[in-house]
Amino acid sequence: MKNIIKSILFVVILFILCSLISCLLLPHETIRKYGLIKTSSYEILAENENTIDSVIIGDSLIYSGISPMEIWNEYGITTFDVAKSAELINESYKNIKVVINSQHPKVIFFESNVLYRESKNKPWFYIWQELYKTYFPLITYHNNWKKYLFTNFNDSLEFSKINTYKGYKYITKTVPGKKLNYMKEVNKEKSISKENKSYFDKIYKLCQDNNIKLILISTPNMKSWNYAKYLGTKKLAEEYNLTYIDLNVNNPLKIDWKTESRDAGSHLNYKGSLKLSHYIGEYLYNTGLFEDKRNDPSYASWNKAYDFYKKNID
Amino acid sequence: MSYFSVLYILVFLPLVIIIYNILPKKVKPLVLLFSSYLFFFLYSKWLLIFIFLSSLSIYIAGIYIKKIEKEKNEKIKDLDINNKKIIKDKYKKKKKIILIIAIIFNVLFLFYFKYLGFFKNILNNILNLFNLNLKFKIIKHLAPIGISFYTLQAISYLADVYNGKIEAEENLLKLMLYLSFFPTLVEGPITRYNEVKDKIYAGQKVTYHSFCFGYQRILYGLFKKMVIADRLNIFVKIIFNYYSFFRGPIVFLGAIFYTILLYMEFSGTMDIVIGTGEIFNIDIPENFRQPFFSKNISEFWSRWHITLGLWFKDYIFYPVSLSKFVKKISNNFKRIFNNRVSSLIMGGIALFAVWSLNGLWHGAGYQFLFFGYYHFLLIFIGNIFEPYIIKLLKKLRINRENFFYKLFRIIKTCLLIFIGELFFRANSLSSGLNMMKIILTNFSFKGFNKVILSLGLDIKDYIILSFALLFVFIISILKEKQINIRKSLSKKNIVIRWTCFYALILSIIVFGAYGAGYTPVEPIYADF
């Protein structure tokens, strides 16, 4: 009996310690508004309601390639990357549903790479993942120790209150890529699976119902993107009468894969993301739908976030 | 289900412990057997049949050898010495045939799953060399998990029964559990039947003490893997995949980091394996003994993957060096040269066999063979020159026990190990050679500081790595000095003990290299 009590006490103290550390490492603003549970899964909930102009949905290509802070600095347009590594289309659908709870973006970009990703894991894996993310958010945010340790503590306290990257992951690593058949023309498109297409249909309807312009985008990706997938996405865009931005055929952004990729052509690094972010910012600016909010006092936190962002990347 | 996964540590293992503890003593070993087969099934599905066939084959062979032995004993009871010898030889031959058939049966599976592709390529290359328009094709199959490990265990069982070291087991379930015991299944250690047979089937209850002790060890393994190995993996992967973009010092740093990664991953796994054993009161042999304190390559291999080294020593080195063929060669040399040369040759031949097989055991590829021969040469050359070095040191009046001389030897050994591991990890033999070429011909530190910070690890990662390595280093020194840290800690009061455990758990959760931007190391030895 004594040992059972000791064991329970040990676990209880461990949970208390984890919670204390969580309070330090989790984004403060978000916790205040939405509590610990939602915070851990959706960073965008930290933003003030109806302040995001455009949301970019997708996988690691998005969080590696588009830096909302760069777009803010250049055009004063608020964007947010709602992206997860190896995201599945059903997760994208769920993410959009969460986004429109607190935001009303005019434009949603949807990374086409997600259309071709099939789930490899069993359903229980996702339930399990969701569970630990929900009830043990420290697992998701543990790496925030880098903001506190070996740095100026006062600075870092303030830093953690602001969502600095807006979903972007800052990676400077450079691993040159070389692929000879990148976007080599083929005649036949790669078809999208029935299940993924039905989820895309749901996404389309959700955007329509909420008066959101849905744009399909293929961001630069030399390794897993190809011409057949491009044709498949083009066909889908035509079918739904959507705008499709392709940034792979003929390399319109002039991505230098030797210096602007973090992993030999799969993802852009910081240098490459500057080009893509500039393109997205310019595109949004040219739609004429958005105002420059850099001097708007209600968006002061974005300017502050940019200062921290700049400080961090310098 | 990796040993490092939450699924194993927080779900599978606790469930097994609960079921194991609530069932009666007699059934407990069956719980372990069922869990082991379930564990195997989760990895390799219906390839389960192969581990069962191996168990069945050694069971039948063992029983048969025992029967022959019994028959022989009955027959020689009333015979004179000469007739005894004739009968003994006759039965020995019979036993040998059974042994060989059983070994071939087991090795064939291993060969089929692991080496067929490699030897097919060699054959095709030879045919190509002679411009023969023939090409062999085979369908590649996934190997049953742990086949390299359990096959060696099966062979050791057969050889020990043949040599009369152990009695043949009459309970098939015991042998099934011996080969498949889930903690040792994926990455070893390679246990011997007489070492584990009593404990593995004893059905001892999991106590509070054994539970705590076991999980302590598991935590230490998790720390080594998640804080150190997984963090280094980012750097190592880039260097080994894209070495041509880097200068010598960075490539060499990649080799050093890989060696540390390999040690942390493998020894971390062993901590989890041994810790799991401790929970069930089963003593699993240690596989590492502070290998980086070794003063020469031989010593290194007696401290690194100890059970594999001992297996090769007992079942390859001794049988080869004591074989008639080697003895004959050795005697010939003895006549021409002297005793030392002849024993060097005798040992050399056996060493060559050991390292050829050791290389191949690690993988079906030329780089693994090179890895084996590299160590063979280092050990063989070391053996040749050892007496001369001792003489030279005496002349120079250098004390071999001097701290600085020892340190020099340790550093020299480490450098040689880094080179060996570079070939071991290289994507191919030619990649390994090219990496060595870069190290030797392009050793410039230009841009070094900038490059090491652009390969996925920032300065804070390096700081955490340094602290973590220092922690493991201090523990290693204490172990080397025969200080039992866990025993000493268990004598401290609860506040100190729990503080240590919390510190370890929280450092894994917070400083572990997992999540976005990190790729955990795959179980390296599980592929062998």
Does B242 contact A264 at a Cβ distance shorter than 8 Å?
yes
A125 touches B at CB < 8 Å: no
A162 touches B at CB < 8 Å: no
CATH topology of domain A2-313: Rossmann fold (3.40.50)
Does A13 contact B459 at a Cβ distance shorter than 8 Å?
no
Does B517 contact A132 at a Cβ distance shorter than 8 Å?
no
Tokens representing B91?
């039965």
Nearest CA in chain B to A86: B516
DSSP 8-state class, residue A115? G
A40 touches B at CB < 8 Å: no
Does A18 contact B509 at a Cβ distance shorter than 8 Å?
yes
Give burial (CB, 10 Å; 0-12/13-18/19+) of B254.
buried
Dihedral pair phi/psi, residue A246, rounded to 5°: -105, 125
CA A73 from chain centre, in angstroms, equals: 18
B170 touches A at CB < 8 Å: no
How far away is chain B from the Cα of A84, in angstroms, using its nearest Cα?
9
Does A140 contact B515 at a Cβ distance shorter than 8 Å?
yes
Bridge partners of A206, per DSSP, are: none
Task: Spell out which residues of chain A touch residue B208, defining contact as CB-CB under 8 Å.
Answer: 3, 7
Does A174 contact B502 at a Cβ distance shorter than 8 Å?
no
Nearest CA in chain B to A84: B516
Does B245 contact A175 at a Cβ distance shorter than 8 Å?
yes
B511 touches A at CB < 8 Å: yes
Q: How far apart are CA B240 and CA B423, in angstroms?
A: 10
Per-domain boundaries in chain B: 6-205, 224-288+426-528, 306-425
B137 touches A at CB < 8 Å: no
Q: Output the CA angle B492-B496-B502, nearest 5 degrees.
A: 130
Q: How far apart are CA B45 and CA A119, in angstroms?
A: 20
Q: How far apart are CA B125 and CA B104, in angstroms?
A: 26
pLDDT in tens, B447-456: 788 888 877 7
Dihedral pair phi/psi, residue B187, rounded to 5°: -130, 20
Q: What is the pLDDT of residue A29?
A: 57
Does A138 contact B509 at a Cβ distance shorter than 8 Å?
yes
ipTM above 0.95, yes or no: no
Task: Spell out which residues of chain A touch residue B458, defining contact as CB-CB under 8 Å.
Answer: 146
Task: Spell out which residues of chain B touch residue A149, defining contact as CB-CB under 8 Å.
Answer: 460, 463
Q: Which of A59, A122, A175 to mutate to test the interface with B (most CBs of B within 10 A)?
A: A175
Q: Which of A7, A143, A172 sits opposite B454 (nearest CB)?
A: A172
- Residues in chain A predicted with pLDDT less than 70, given as ranges, are 27-42, 120-123, 126, 149-163
* Number of other residues whose CB lies within 10 A of the CB of residue A235: 15
Give which of B498, B506, B509, B500 is closest to B475, Cα–Cα.
Answer: B500
Exposure string of B512-524, with b = 16+ CB inside 10 Å and e = fewer, is: bbbeebbebbebb
- The answer for B 242-271 residues in CB contact with A (under 8 A) is 242, 245
pLDDT in tens, A218-267: 999 998 899 999 999 999 999 999 999 999 999 999 999 989 998 888 89
Q: Output the CA angle A87-A92-A94, nearest 5 degrees.
A: 125
Q: How far apart are CA B222 and CA B10, in angstroms?
A: 13
Give which of B436, B455, B448 is closest to B244, Cα–Cα.
Answer: B436
Q: What is the pLDDT of residue A18?
A: 87
- Answer whether B109's CB lies under 8 Å from B54's CB: yes
B490 touches A at CB < 8 Å: no
Nearest CA in chain A to B239: A175
Give which of B525, B454, B448 is closest to B229, Cα–Cα.
Answer: B525
Contact pairs from chain A to chain B, CB under 8 Å:
62
Q: Which of B236, B454, B466, B508 to mutate to test the interface with A (most CBs of A within 10 A)?
A: B454
Query: Which residue has tokens 């990729």?
Result: A261
Asked, as a colleague might, if the bond just before A176 is cis with ω within 30 of 0, I would say: no
A145 touches B at CB < 8 Å: yes
Nearest CA in chain B to A151: B460
Nearest CA in chain B to A11: B502
Task: Spell out which residues of chain A touch residue B509, defining contact as CB-CB under 8 Å.
Answer: 18, 21, 138-139, 142
B24 touches A at CB < 8 Å: no
Q: Which of B5, B510, B518, B519 to mutate to test the interface with A (most CBs of A within 10 A)?
A: B510
Q: Which of A21, A149, A169 sits opposite B506 (nearest CB)?
A: A21
Does A175 contact B515 at a Cβ distance shorter than 8 Å?
no
Q: What is the pLDDT of residue A4?
A: 85
- Answer whether B103's CB lies under 8 Å from B155's CB: yes
User: From edge to edge, which strands make up the β-sheet containing A213-218?
Assistant: A79-83, A54-58, A107-111, A213-218, A243-246
Q: What is the pLDDT of residue B61?
A: 94
Per-domain boundaries in chain A: 2-313
Query: Which residue has tokens 């909420």?
Result: A210
Q: Output the CA angle B359-B360-B365, nearest 5 degrees.
A: 100
How far away is chain A from the Cα of B428, in angstroms, using its nearest Cα?
19
**DSSP three-state, residue A256:** coil
How far away is chain A from the Cα of B36, in angstroms, using its nearest Cα?
22
Please report the sign of the dihedral spanned by the C-alpha atoms of residue B109, residue B110, residue B113, residue B117.
negative
- Residues in chain B predicted with pLDDT less than 70, given as ranges, are 133-134, 138-140, 516-517, 523-528
Give which of B253, B234, B258 is closest to B439, Cα–Cα.
Answer: B253
Q: In the structure, how many helices (H) and strands (E) does chain B have?
A: 25, 0
Q: Which of B242, B505, B509 sits opposite A175 (nearest CB)?
A: B242
Does A85 contact B516 at a Cβ distance shorter than 8 Å?
yes
Does B498 contact A25 at a Cβ distance shorter than 8 Å?
no
Does B515 contact A14 at a Cβ distance shorter than 8 Å?
no
B455 touches A at CB < 8 Å: yes
How far away is chain B from the Cα of A200, in angstroms, using its nearest Cα?
26
Dihedral pair phi/psi, residue A55, rounded to 5°: -115, 140
